[in-house]
Amino acid sequence: TGVTLIRIKKESGHFYQESRTFSEGTDVSFYPMTEREICDYIATGEPMDKAGAYGIQGKAAIFVKGIRGDYNNVVGLPIARLYQ
pLDDT in tens, 9-28: 999 999 999 999 999 999 99
- Determine how many CB atoms are found less than 10 A away from the CB of residue 22: 13
How far apart (Å, rounded) are the C-alpha atoms in residues 14 and 79? 32
Give the Cα separation of 63 and 46 in Å (integer): 14
Question: What are the boundaries of each domain within the chain?
Answer: 1-26+70-84, 27-68
Q: What is the pLDDT of residues 47-74, one digit of tens each?
A: 999 888 999 999 999 999 999 999 999 9
SS3 38: helix
Q: Is the pLDDT of residue 37 over 90?
A: yes
Residues 6+ apart with CB under 8 A from 7: 17, 18, 19
pTM value is: 0.75
